[in-house]
Amino acid sequence: MATMNNTTTTTASSSLTSLSSHFRRSAKKNEINNSTKEATIFHQREETRQQHQQQRRRRRRSATTTNASAASGTKTAGEQLQLSALEQSELIDDTEDFPIDANTAFEPTIGIETHVQLQTKTKAFCGCRYSYGANANTQICPICMGHPGTYPKLSEEVVEKGVQIGVALNCKIREVSKFDRKQYFYPDLPKGYQISQFDEPLCEHGNIKVVLPVEEGGGEATIGITRAHLEEDAGKLNHVGGSGNVSTATHSLADYNRAGVALLEIVTEPDFKNGKEVSAYGQELRRIVRYLKASDGNLNEGSMRCDVNVSVKPVGRKRFGTKVEVKNMNSFNAMARAIDYEIERQEKLYKEGRGDEIVQETRTWDDQNQRTVTMRKKEGLADYRYFPEPDLNPLVCSQAYVANVRKEMPELPNEIRDRYKALGLPNGDVQVLVEDENLVRFYDEILSANSSRSSEEKEVNISKQAANWLTNDLLAFVKNEKLATPYDLKLNPEEIAEFCFLIENGEISGKIGKDILPELLLDGGSPRKLVEEKGLMQISDPKEIEKIVQKVLDMNPNQLEQYRSGKTKLKGFFVGACLRESGGRANPTLTDEILMQNLEE
């Protein structure tokens, strides 16, 4: 074991040699502080102990007032601190001012805690790698198993990714944050405690702008971020026998691979109005962490886990209703439905005078039956006895460090949206493009291919044209053919730029474009060459168009007479006939012009 321990420590410390200067500075600072460290820790422990005592006293006080105060039951550090607003509300008992009957209007209070698994080379405090789906207990070491005599060593990459997400969520990054031990027993937690951040989280006071889907009316919502803190994950229990859940299993197998993997827990303010906003929030958060490459954001592999707290109260009442936690939603859609279901369920119970049936519990989403069901009732209040982690120094992130992390960050979804809106793209196209990082890159490459051409030729703006073709016909082809990205198309960005240029420049009509696209998608190649080979260039010579118009008028003498005797609606008929006669090649504007001259004669 000693050997293993040494090896791991070496791996961890070699990664520390790359620490940037401010980390070295903070490490020095900590050395100096070491002599007073123990005294400080004792002091901090004492402070934390007093805080806990105060909290317990406060809880006991409010617990005597009403059942609803059970809402102060705390599970995570995030919740515990987030409760400041809720706790305040518990001190105000205005329930009597808001009697509930069948006609009462309710408003929901919804808050979300999301655990984002950070995509880092190693776990948070040791040199172990982690990959989802590896054989059980093959990615562990004495440090993440909490063997006596081992010490955690914080990975710089974990801090960097945490700061990146914090900055993207407009959070204030604490110059000094600290780690705490959260102790509880559960078979998936080999150490018997989890290293987390309790009262000094890495990130706090942020917000995120959430864009609601166009098909649901669009619009934006701003959601406050209370805090985001670093912590380590627990292992995983695989329940065997029965129907695979903990209550029916015959036994459970513990896989500790995930123990010690770095998480960022993000806690929101209760700013959501409905399930759709929650779903939009989850999706935007996932886009952000994916753009940052800070997490793969896969819901079904547990790299992003959302727990939602829902309660309802009569509109205007200060005291919050009893809070119910909903878990295990494996899609954002399911999340939206689960929340809307829960709001409805709670309102109904209150209106029927069965409010006391709403208890503090964890419910899970039953996708098959489209409803939430009780998973476990919360019995009593968990007390995790947080105290500052004695094996880790406070984490120092200087302003210069944060500024540097910010500088290295890629363009984020919201910034891309603003850039595309400035190009005049419709909201629907913007939404589709920003959904996928590859699509954004591909689209930008089409535009830059066009601008490098424009220096030689006439300058033509193809932004809208390209967005339209890409988000409709091209994306449909990518999906139908099950291609991974638009880069797997036979047409490259240069060729698509050329295609859009031909249309925008009036050399072919949109109709011809649509006709030749399938062939281009199958065989690739230059759109201009294909158009020339097939003789599909738009006819823009007035003399030729004049001929076509004359021919159409000669072929339809009856309609012409009707038109001239006042039935001007027939204009559309003639336009269509001219375009058909030209094989779709006649320049529409010019055709219209020349047709009108001839019709009015």
Identify the DSSP state of 186. -
Sign of CA dihedral 326, 331, 335, 338: negative
The footprint of Zn ion (CB under 5 A) covers 126, 128, 141, 143-144
d(CA 588, CA 431): 31
- Shorter beta-carbon distance to Zn ion: residue 257 or 471: 257
Please report the DSSP string for 96-158 in residue order: GGS---TT--EEEEEEEEEEEE---SS-SSSS----TTPPTTSS--TTTTT-TT------HHH
- Shorter beta-carbon distance to Zn ion: residue 179 or 291: 179
10 contact partners, CB below 8 Å, separation of at least 6: none
- Shorter beta-carbon distance to Zn ion: residue 155 or 450: 155
Locate tokens 């942020």: which residue? 206
Amino acid letter for position 188: D
Identify the DSSP state of 378. -
Closest by CA to 580, choosing from 549, 601, 558, 559, is 549
Least distance to Zn ion from the beta carbon of 165, Å? 23
Closest by CA to 332, choosing from 296, 274, 280, 265, is 280
Q: How far apart are the first and last CA of the chain?
A: 101
278 contact partners, CB below 8 Å, separation of at least 6: 110, 112, 272, 308, 335, 336, 339
- Shorter beta-carbon distance to Zn ion: residue 137 or 559: 137
- Shorter beta-carbon distance to Zn ion: residue 5 or 454: 5
- Shorter beta-carbon distance to Zn ion: residue 145 or 382: 145
Closest by CA to 151, choosing from 161, 160, 141, is 141
d(CA 476, CA 483): 10
Closest by CA to 412, choosing from 164, 235, 182, is 164
- Token pair belonging to 284: 């935007």
Q: Count the alpha carbons within 13 Å of 268 in the hemisphere toward its beta carbon.
A: 29
- Shorter beta-carbon distance to Zn ion: residue 179 or 574: 179
d(CA 575, CA 474): 29
- Token pair belonging to 167: 């900055």
Least distance to Zn ion from the beta carbon of 142, Å? 8
d(CA 176, CA 174): 5
Pairing of strands 172-173, 304-314: unpaired
Least distance to Zn ion from the beta carbon of 254, Å? 15
- Shorter beta-carbon distance to Zn ion: residue 257 or 431: 257
- Shorter beta-carbon distance to Zn ion: residue 157 or 284: 157
Least distance to Zn ion from the beta carbon of 492, Å? 44
- Shorter beta-carbon distance to Zn ion: residue 391 or 481: 391
Least distance to Zn ion from the beta carbon of 390, Å? 19
Least distance to Zn ion from the beta carbon of 289, Å? 23
Instruction: Report phi then psi at 435, rounded to 5.
Output: -55, -30
For the chain, what's the residue count? 601
- Shorter beta-carbon distance to Zn ion: residue 26 or 139: 139
- Shorter beta-carbon distance to Zn ion: residue 114 or 117: 117
- Shorter beta-carbon distance to Zn ion: residue 141 or 553: 141
Please report the DSSP string for 292-326 in residue order: TTS----TTTTSEEEEEEEEEEETT-SS----EEE
Residue 313 β-bridge partners = 107
How far CA 109 is from CA of 30, 125, 142, 336, 585, in Å, comes to 42, 36, 43, 14, 59
Please report the DSSP string for 11-33 in residue order: HHHHHHTT--HHHHHHHHHHHHH
Q: Count the alpha carbons within 13 Å of 59 in the hemisphere toward its beta carbon.
A: 17
Least distance to Zn ion from the beta carbon of 145, Å? 7
Least distance to Zn ion from the beta carbon of 210, Å? 36
Least distance to Zn ion from the beta carbon of 183, Å? 20
- Shorter beta-carbon distance to Zn ion: residue 127 or 282: 127
d(CA 411, CA 210): 16
Least distance to Zn ion from the beta carbon of 126, Å? 3
How many DSSP H helices and E strands does the chain contain? 19, 16
Least distance to Zn ion from the beta carbon of 313, Å? 45
- Token pair belonging to 252: 């459970």
d(CA 123, CA 139): 10
- Shorter beta-carbon distance to Zn ion: residue 126 or 579: 126
